[in-house]
């Protein structure tokens, strides 16, 4: 604690220049050991995921309140969603979570090929998820189920005019309740939209990671990024695990 | 929150939780369990259970999420601090949802 | 060294009228003030205590007098003292305050109901007798008055400092507050929830009158059509009576004496019929179907203004028999006893006189 | 009056040549720095900038309220000005003020670390803050926004045609800046402590920041999603808060206050941390009831999440919810009372001197006590009905935020100024500034309590003439207050060049930050310290000094 001694010099970007004992190059200057650095990184990532929980928390709160208020509208609204596509997407996302977990394992055990293939699989599955989601969104667009000025309650006041509503044997809703389906679709788009946004951010990060992995990255033991991305990807998966039953499944009975 | 404040030295603390590598076998089992859970929840949605439909669906979703958190996200093998962090997030989430709902539920009190 | 004369005038005027609380003009005001005085005293004691201690310690233990500090870890006893005593005092305030809160927001059953609609940037008061006011409210002393508030657009807040009451007017939902004025006079009415450009212009007068003067005012400012009468016309012009007529084969439930009763809805849940329920049932009938009836009622959202809804609600509240409903249904004749006051708006054109149909 | 200040011999003393300020030169070395101390300086500059913008807006508000009519400006201009004042002061000054400047600078040093856990994220959070600030300024210049800083729906979604979207997104971005700061602090305090630095050897400053960071991390995202929904409602017309589509505007209030109530603890807790340090140092004494003060910070953070609906007592929430939230509000008032009494008793048997930071701290204690106690008036549901939405609430939160937080901020800036710059501020004039600020503050805001009691509503451009005298008092006080804030600005800048050389530990304080040179090295410590002494251990410090003397002798 002698303030005037000049011992080691450390530059602002954290690379030890004069430390005698061996440290890997990726150990940043302010950490004592690599373990401290990775633990710190994953703790930070978890705290970030907590903010994500709260971020979606507001939407879940809104969903619970309005589902109780406008149950028939939520039933009719959920009949507009395809269980097949929803289930397929769940399958896709769980698989991508699995491949990502395998990717983390490959990185931990320094399997270069495995990591690259796991990341490619994750990437394809992630893009596949968004593809299926966009098919669903497109259908909503065509049927004027996007909230806003163009929103149409036709499918709900006159279910016979609508294939999905007819298939679900929907009874016509009163105009007032039919209008409340806009609340359902507002939440549907807000929740799945926020989820999709997280997927898009994830895919962008994944591309960068894959690029680095192909060129031999992450084989030197510095896999904090892979691990933390894994945490993020699994979190996005968990959000979907809740969105799928809430939006697609639980309201199907009336 | 008391464990969080126990007097432990952060630099010796990390050695207690030696980095645990979860193997492909575990991942495969969890993956299979998640698929089974998905199938179950879809199947359950076709059954007529009245008020129990959402309960069952949410329960299955919670189990699935727990599996992902514990194994895919390695919380089962992580330090107490991490477990506590996850718990804190869940707790605050429940506060947000629960206390907001408390207003909505009790608005109708005295109205029957 | 002259004070500016303008400032001097202010000061004199202010000192003459100095007050730290507004006049107490309602029954609840003195009760609120009692709690305020209690809280102010507790606060002063706390503040003086902290102030004295800080001053005393600063003098006694300044470095000149006490060059070496005595290290003290703390004292559990003291910690407990200043945890428990404030907590106890706060809990007293909590209980006392909550009692007042429930009193202010639980109208007595015999209260006279006045409807207030807030819009950017004015208050519209609708008296049951058909008196309409803008930015003012005339009320008698000695009678509990319930305000049923709603907003047409954004949040507003109906505040009467002299009565110590305040309630937000919320878009899409009724809220209530009540008071009993005690002293005649004119008091401030403020909108206290920020509501846009002319927020500070959304003010008015609460005119508290003696019962005699109030009666005079009522007679001199009536529009001739009470809320219920206007509601009756709306009821007919919107053809509500086609279904809600109390006949054995009617498609809608009878509305006579429905106010204040407990209904069972089609969903099986019981509900108390109050103003808010009636309003909701007109706008969102699907969720408010009485058990045993088919969900065929159309919504009137967008077709009736808030004032029209108030008239309808007031009409249904006062409906004690279906006799006149059926009369109008059979004869399409309306309000035969009122033709002189509303010339040209009687037979044959029932809708012409009804106020409250929303403009397209 | 005696002083504890011990400065090195000014004839020979120099500010150390090698320090974090001189380590690298050039503008890029600042803009791309990972050094928590440099980022703190960057924050200090940008926050001061926004503080003076917000302050200028406050001056305009007070000028307008000099007369009952809206004569200086039209009412919509007035509305835009108080909205901007709120947005700038809350999101761009108060929330980041102490944490992003003093917290950033000191937390790593106090716990014996070389830097925060994530230096790049720390820098990112400053850039996010700048982007948020720039967007806010952009919104202000291109027509302003007139919803109030609370963005009440449906006012903000459907009835305002001003720049709500830009401002909302600005707050969204600034919110992420705050999230990253909080995240960084939590991780740092958990993971980066020096050997021997146990939780109960942490300075209370760190405890307070830890508690505030929990609120930042868990509260801010709820505000973020709420603002996203408001923006979506304005742009594409979704129907979550819109009553005409079946949404509930009160849900917006719930979500908004779920963040914005804890936000007041985000603002005040770091200030409390500063006060703990200052009072301990200038009384030469360990903080009375260290554990109680530490845990009361955490208690405030935890309870802070349970009380948000007390902002909505008259908004038509259920009466039973009001009961619950009012009761919980009373509970959250207790830890604040505990802190006040513990600070008071820290003085007991101390050896007190009255340097500027201590004067500000006394100011804090007085004003925060008033602010806290009047908070109880508002947390009590029965009296809240009369007092809410009036000038009483304006006075209350200014007593807590300006009287509390800003006093603490200035106290901390003066206290650590020698550490940050290596030079002392001029003592006499700064003591004068502290007194002027205190007097000006009371002059400005105490009349507002009376105005509120009398029922004058807040956010009124024009008001009934009977309220004028008190408003004149308030405006007069504001001009004194303005002088009080300008003075430090001037003499602190002056001291950068002409201030006395401070030396490592001018206050003879115990914290780790005082055991290293001023200004510190980029890496803070040449060797990671091993902490053996207790926190606020003045006896250890005495021994340390004796040891040095004998050593030199």
Q: Which H, E and C letters describe chain C, residue by residue?
A: CCCCHHHHHHHHHHHHCCCCCCCCCEHHHHHHHHHHHHHHHHHHHHHHHHHHHHHHHHHHCECCCCCCCCCCCCCHHHHHHHHHHHHHHHHHHHHHHHHHHHHHHCCCCCCEEEEEEEECCEEEEECCCCCEEECEEEEECCCEEEEEEEECCCCEEEEEHHHCEEEEEEECECEEEEEEECCCEEEEEEECCCCCCCHHHCCEEEEEECHHHHHHHHHHHCCCCCHHHHHHHHHHHCCHHHCCCCCCCCCCCCCCCCCCCEEEECCCCEEECCHHHHHHHHHCHHHHCECCCCCCCCCCCCCECHHHHHHHHHHHHCCCCCHHHHHHHHHCCCCCCCCCCCCCCCCCCCCCCCCCECCC
CA-angle at C109, arms to C106 and C111, nearest 5°: 85
Structure tokens, D347:
């003085």
Q: What is the pLDDT of residues C42-98, one digit of tens each?
A: 999 999 999 999 999 999 999 999 998 888 888 899 999 999 999 999 999 999 999
Sheet arrangement for strand C144-151: C132-134, C122-126, C112-119, C144-151, C175-180
DSSP letter (8 states) at residue D466: G
- Judge whether residue A63 has pLDDT over 70: yes
Which residue(s) pair with C207 in the sheet? C138, C186
Of D286, D344, D460, the CB nearest to C50: D344
Which residues 6+ apart lie within 8 Å of D269 measured at CB? D208, D209, D211, D212, D215, D297, D300, D301
Residue D390 lies in a domain: yes
Higher-confidence position of D546 and C316 = C316
Q: Which two tokens stand for residue D205?
A: 């400053």
Cis peptide before D519 (omega within 30 of 0): yes
Lowest mean pLDDT: which of A33-47, D31-45, D455-469?
A33-47
pLDDT at D300: 94
Judge whether residue B17 has pLDDT over 50: no
Any domain includes D434: yes
- The chain B residues in contact with chain D (CB within 8 A) are 1, 5-11, 81, 88-89, 92, 95-96, 99-100, 102-107, 109
Around Cβ C201, how many Cβ atoms within 10 Å?
A: 16
What number of other Cβ atoms are within 10 A of residue A131's Cβ? Answer: 12
Residues in chain D: 553
Tens of pLDDT, residue by residue over D136-194, are 999 999 999 999 999 998 999 999 989 999 999 999 999 999 999 999 999 999 999 99
pLDDT of residue A86: 94
B111 in reach of chain C (CB within 8 A): yes
pLDDT at B19 exceeding the cut of 80: no
- Local confidence band at C18 (pLDDT 50, 70, 90 cut-offs): confident
Average pLDDT, chain D: 93
- Give the bridge partners for C296, in sequence order: none
pLDDT in tens, A82-127: 999 999 999 999 999 999 999 999 999 999 999 999 999 999 999 9
User: CA gyration radius for chain A?
Assistant: 24
What pLDDT, on a 0 to 100 scale, did the predictor assign at position A194?
95
Please check the confidence at residue A19 and state whether its pLDDT lies above 60: no
CB proximity under 8 Å: A 202-241 to D: none
* Residue A12 binned pLDDT confidence (cut-offs 50, 70, 90): very low
CB spacing of A44 vs D226 below 8 angstroms: no
Asked if the Cβ–Cβ distance from D146 to C98 is below 8 Å, we say no
What's phi and psi for A252, nearest 5 deg? Answer: -75, -20
Q: Which residue among A38, A43, A242 places its CB closest to the CB of B65?
A: A242
| 3 state SS for D177-217 | HHHHHHHHHHHHHHHCCCCCCCHHHCCHHHHHHHHHHHHHH
Chain C 193-212, residues with CB within 8 Å of chain D CB atoms: 193-201, 203
Inside any domain, residue D259: yes
Chain D hits for A59, Cβ within 8 Å: 225
- Say whether pLDDT at D99 is over 90: yes
Q: Which residue has the higher pLDDT, A15 or C131?
A: C131
Residue B15: its pLDDT value, please?
41
Q: Please compute the mean of the pLDDT values over residues B56-83 and round it to a whole number.
A: 92
Instruction: Kindly list the structural domains of chain C, giving each domain's residue range(s) and its CATH number in brackets, ordered by start.
Output: 25-54+85-223 (2.60.40.420), 227-331 (1.10.760.10)
Residue C9 binned pLDDT confidence (cut-offs 50, 70, 90): confident
Host domain of residue D334: 27-552
Where along chain A do its domains lie?
Answer: 46-249
3-state DSSP call for residue D501?
strand
The residue of chain C nearest to residue D75, with distances taken between CA atoms, is C197
Chain D residues touching B103 at Cβ < 8 A = 250, 254, 309, 317-318, 321
pLDDT score at C295: 85
Nearest beta carbon to residue C101 from set D160, D381, D450 = D381
Q: Report residue B18's pLDDT band, with 50, 70 and 90 as the boundaries.
A: low
- D60 has pLDDT over 90: yes
Residues 6+ apart with CB under 8 A from D373: C42, C43, C46, C47
Place of tokens 């969720």: C287
Predicted confidence at residue A25, as pLDDT, reads 67
pLDDT in tens, C254-278: 898 899 888 888 888 888 898 889 9
Flag whether pLDDT at A22 surpasses 60.
Answer: no
Measure the CA–CA gap between D38 and D33, rounded to whole angstroms. 7
Give how far D336 is from chain B: nearest CA, Å.
20
Q: Which residues of B touch D193 (CB under 8 A)?
A: 9-11
Q: What is the tens place of the pLDDT at every residue in D234-243? A: 999 898 999 9
To the nearest whole Å, the CA of C195 is away from the closest chain B CA by 24
C176 touches chain B (CB under 8 A): no
Q: Is the pLDDT of residue D13 over 90?
A: no
Helix axes D204-235, A34-69, angle to 10 degrees: 40
Among D2, D311, D382, D545, pick the best mutation site for testing chain C contact (most C Cβ within 10 A): D382
Q: Cβ contact (<8 Å) for C274 and B111?
A: yes
Give how far Cα A196 sits from Cα of A51, A133, C117, D229, D232, Å: 17, 8, 43, 16, 16
Q: Give the CATH number of the domain where residue D81 resides.
A: 1.20.210.10
Separation between Cα atoms, residue C63 and residue D106, nearest integer Å: 28
Over pLDDT 70: what percentage of chain D?
A: 99
Residues 73-92 of A with CB under 8 A from D: none
**Whole-number Å distance between alpha carbons of D389 and D376:** 15
**If you count residue pairs, one on A and one on D, with CB atoms under 8 Å apart, how many are there?**
154
SS3 D482: helix
Q: Do A253 and B24 touch (CB under 8 A)?
A: no
CB atoms within 10 A of CB A4: 9
Global confidence as pTM: 0.92
Res B1 pLDDT > 90: no
Mean pLDDT of the region C224-247: 88
Q: Which residues of D touch A187 (CB under 8 A)?
A: 240
Confirm whether D7 is domain-assigned. no
User: Is A187 touching D (CB cutoff 8 A)?
Assistant: yes
| Residues D543, D549, D553: CA angle, nearest 5 degrees | 145
Please give the mean pLDDT across all residues of chain C: 87
Could you tell me how many helices (H) and strands (E) chain D has, helices first?
Answer: 18, 0
C-alpha atoms less than 13 angstroms from C-alpha of C94 in its C-beta half-sphere: 19
What is the model's pLDDT at position A33? 76
Task: Return mean pLDDT, chain A.
Answer: 86
Inter-chain contact A98–B57, Cβ cutoff 8 Å? no
Contact D272, D287 (CB under 8 A): no
CA distance B3 to chain C (A): 22
By the 8 A CB rule, do D272 and D344 touch? no
| Count of positions (residues) in chain C | 360
> Which chains have at least 3 CB atom pairs separated by less than 8 Å from chain C?
A, B, D
Considering the domain A46-249, what is its CATH architecture?
Up-down Bundle (1.20)
C-beta separation of A184 from A77 below 8 A:
yes
DSSP state of A223: -
Chain A (4-33) residues lying within 8 Å, Cβ to Cβ, of chain B: 32-33
Maximal CA-CA distance, chain D: 83
Residue of B nearest to C106 (CA): B110
Do residues D33 and A12 lie in contact, with contact meaning Cβ atoms separated by under 8 Å? yes
Do the Cβ atoms of D198 and B100 come within 8 Å? no
Is residue D342 very low, low, confident or very high in pLDDT (cuts 50, 70, 90)? Answer: very high
pLDDT in tens, D378-394: 999 999 999 999 999 99
Tell me if residue D288 falls in helix, strand or coil.
coil
CA dist A116 and A106 (Å) reads 9
Q: C243 or A22: whose pLDDT is higher? A: C243
Query: Taking 90 as the threshold, does the pLDDT of residue B79 lie above it?
Result: no
Q: How far is B106 from chain A (nearest CA, A)?
A: 13
Q: Is D77 inside a domain boundary?
A: yes
Per-residue pLDDT, A23: 62
Q: For all residues of chain B together, what is the average pLDDT?
A: 82
Report how far residue C24's alpha carbon sits from residue C40's, in angstroms, rounded to the nearest whole number: 17
């Amino acid at each position: 604690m002698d303030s005037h001694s000049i011992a080691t010099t450390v530059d602002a970007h954290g690379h030890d220049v004069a430390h005698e004992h061996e440290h890997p190059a990726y150990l940043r200057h302010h950490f004592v050991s690599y373990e401290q650095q990775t633990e710190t990184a994953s703790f930070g990532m978890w705290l970030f995921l907590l903010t994500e929980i709260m971020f979606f928390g507001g939407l879940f709160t809104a969903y619970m309140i309005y589902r109780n208020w406008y149950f028939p509208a939520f039933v009719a609204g959920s009949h507009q969603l395809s269980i097949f596509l929803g289930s397929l997407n769940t399958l896709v996302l769980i698989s991508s979570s699995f491949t990502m977990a395998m990717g983390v394992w490959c990185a931990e055990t320094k399997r270069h090929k495995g990591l690259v293939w796991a990341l490619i699989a994750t990437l394809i599955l992630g893009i596949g998820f968004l593809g299926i989601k966009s098919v669903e969104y497109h259908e909503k667009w065509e049927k004027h189920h996007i909230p806003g000025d163009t929103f149409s309650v036709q499918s709900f006041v006159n279910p016979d005019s609508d294939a999905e509503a007819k298939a679900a044997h929907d009874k016509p809703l009163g105009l007032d309740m039919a209008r409340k389906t806009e609340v359902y679709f507002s939440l549907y788009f807000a929740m799945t939209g926020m989820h999709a946004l997280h997927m898009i951010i994830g895919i962008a990060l994944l591309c960068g990671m894959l690029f680095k992995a192909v060129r031999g990255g992450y084989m030197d033991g510095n896999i904090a990024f892979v691990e933390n991305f894994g945490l993020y990807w699994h979190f996005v998966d968990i959000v979907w695990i809740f969105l799928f039953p809430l939006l697609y499944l639980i309201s199907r009975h009336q | 929150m008391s464990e969080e404040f126990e007097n432990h030295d952060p630099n010796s603390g990390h050695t207690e939780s030696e980095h645990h590598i979860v193997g492909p076998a575990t991942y495969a089992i969890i993956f299979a369990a998640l698929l089974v859970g998905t199938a179950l929840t879809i199947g359950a949605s076709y059954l007529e259970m009245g008020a129990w439909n959402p309960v069952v669906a949410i329960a299955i979703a919670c189990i699935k999420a727990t599996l992902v958190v514990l194994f895919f996200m390695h919380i089962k093998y992580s330090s107490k601090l991490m477990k506590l962090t996850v718990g804190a997030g869940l707790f605050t989430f429940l506060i947000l949802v629960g206390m907001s709902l408390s207003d909505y539920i009790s608005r109708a009190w005295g109205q029957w | 060294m002259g004070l500016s004369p303008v400032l001097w005038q202010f000061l004199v005027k202010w000192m003459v009228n100095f007050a730290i609380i507004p006049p107490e003009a309602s029954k609840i005001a003195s009760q609120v003030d009692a709690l305020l005085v209690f809280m102010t005293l507790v606060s002063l004691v706390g503040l003086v205590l902290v102030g004295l201690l800080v001053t005393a310690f600063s003098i006694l233990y300044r470095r000149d007098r006490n060059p070496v500090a005595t290290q003290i870890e703390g004292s559990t006893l003291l910690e407990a003292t200043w945890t428990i005593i404030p907590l106890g005092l706060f809990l007293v305030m909590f209980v006392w305050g909550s009692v007042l809160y429930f009193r202010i927001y639980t109208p007595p059953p015999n209260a006279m109901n006045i409807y207030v609609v807030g819009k950017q940037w004015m208050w519209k008061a609708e008296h049951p007798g058909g008196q309409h006011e803008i930015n003012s409210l005339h009320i008698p002393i000695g009678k509990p008055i319930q305000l049923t508030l709603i907003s047409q657009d954004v949040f507003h807040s109906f505040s009467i400092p002299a009565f110590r009451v305040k309630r937000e007017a919320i878009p899409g939902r009724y809220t209530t507050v009540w008071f009993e004025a005690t002293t005649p006079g004119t008091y401030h009415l403020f909108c206290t929830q920020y509501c846009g450009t002319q927020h500070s212009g959304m003010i008015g007068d609460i005119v508290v009158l003696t019962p005699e003067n109030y009666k005079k005012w009522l007679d001199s400012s009536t529009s001739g059509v009470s809320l219920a009468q206007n509601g009756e016309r709306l009821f007919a012009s919107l053809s509500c009576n086609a279904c809600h007529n109390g006949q054995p084969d009617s498609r809608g439930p009878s509305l006579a004496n429905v106010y204040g009763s407990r209904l069972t809805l089609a969903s099986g849940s019981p509900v108390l019929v109050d103003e808010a329920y009636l309003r909701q049932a007109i706008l969102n009938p699907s969720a408010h179907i009485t058990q045993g009836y088919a969900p065929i009622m159309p919504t009137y959202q967008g077709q009736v203004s808030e004032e029209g809804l108030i008239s309808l609600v007031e009409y249904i509240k006062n409906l004690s028999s279906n006799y006149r409903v059926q009369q109008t249904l059979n004869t399409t004749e309306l309000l035969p006893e009122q033709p002189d006051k509303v010339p040209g708006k009687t037979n044959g054109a029932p809708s012409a006189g009804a106020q409250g149909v929303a403009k397209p | 009056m005696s002083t504890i200040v011990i400065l090195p011999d000014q004839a020979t003393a120099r500010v150390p040549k090698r320090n974090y300020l001189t380590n690298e030169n050039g503008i890029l070395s600042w803009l791309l720095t990972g050094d928590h101390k440099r980022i703190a300086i960057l924050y200090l500059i940008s926050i001061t900038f926004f503080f003076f913008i917000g302050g200028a807006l406050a001056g305009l508000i007070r000028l307008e309220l000099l007369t009952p009519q809206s004569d200086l400006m039209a009412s919509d201009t007035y509305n835009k000005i108080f909205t901007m004042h709120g947005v700038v002061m809350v999101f761009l000054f108060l929330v980041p003020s102490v944490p992003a400047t003093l917290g950033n600078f000191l937390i790593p040093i106090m716990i014996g670390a070389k830097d925060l856990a994530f230096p790049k994220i720390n820098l990112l959070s400053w850039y996010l803050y700048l982007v948020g600030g720039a967007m806010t300024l952009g919104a202000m210049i291109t027509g302003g926004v007139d919803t109030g800083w609370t963005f009440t729906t449906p006012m903000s979604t459907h009835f305002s045609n001003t720049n709500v979207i830009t401002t909302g997104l600005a707050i969204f971005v600034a919110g992420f800046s705050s999230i990253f700061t909080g995240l960084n602090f939590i991780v740092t305090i958990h993971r980066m402590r020096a050997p021997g630095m146990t939780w109960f050897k942490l300075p209370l400053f760190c405890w307070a920041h830890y508690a505030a960071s929990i609120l930042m991390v868990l509260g801010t995202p709820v505000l973020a999603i709420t603002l996203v929904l408001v923006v979506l409602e304005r742009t594409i017309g979704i129907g979550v808060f819109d009553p005409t589509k079946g949404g509930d505007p009160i849900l917006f209030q719930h979500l908004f206050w779920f963040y914005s109530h804890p936000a007041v603890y985000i603002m005040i807790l770091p200030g409390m941390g500063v006060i703990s340090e200052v009072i301990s140092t200038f009384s030469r004494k360990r903080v009375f009831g260290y554990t109680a003060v530490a845990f009361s910070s955490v208690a405030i953070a935890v309870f802070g999440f349970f009380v948000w609906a007390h902002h909505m007592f008259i908004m038509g929430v259920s009466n039973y919810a009001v009961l619950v939230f009012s009761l919980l509000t009373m509970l959250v008032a207790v830890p604040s009372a505990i802190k006040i009494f513990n600070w008071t008793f820290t003085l007991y048997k101390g050896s007190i001197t009255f340097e500027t930071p201590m004067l500000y701290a006394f100011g804090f204690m007085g004003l925060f006590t008033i602010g806290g106690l009047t908070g109880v008036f508002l947390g009590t549901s029965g009296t809240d009905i009369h007092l809410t939405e009036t000038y009483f609430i304006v006075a209350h939160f200014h007593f807590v935020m300006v009287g509390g937080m800003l006093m603490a901020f200035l106290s901390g800036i003066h206290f650590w100024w020698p550490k940050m710059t290596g030079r002392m501020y001029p003592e006499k004039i700064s003591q004068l500034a502290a007194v002027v600020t205190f007097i000006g503050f009371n002059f400005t805001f105490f009349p507002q309590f009376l105005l509120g009691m009398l029922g004058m509503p807040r956010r009124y451009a024009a008001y009934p003439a009977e309220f004028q005298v008190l408003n004149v008092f308030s405006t007069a006080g504001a001009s004194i207050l303005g002088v009080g804030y300008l003075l430090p600005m001037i003499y602190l800048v002056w001291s950068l060049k002409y201030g006395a050389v401070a030396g490592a530990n001018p206050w003879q304080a115990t914290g780790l930050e005082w055991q290293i040179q001023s200004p510190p090295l980029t890496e803070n410590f040449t060797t990671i310290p091993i902490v053996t002494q207790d926190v606020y251990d003045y006896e250890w410090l005495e021994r340390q000094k004796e040891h040095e003397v004998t050593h030199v002798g």
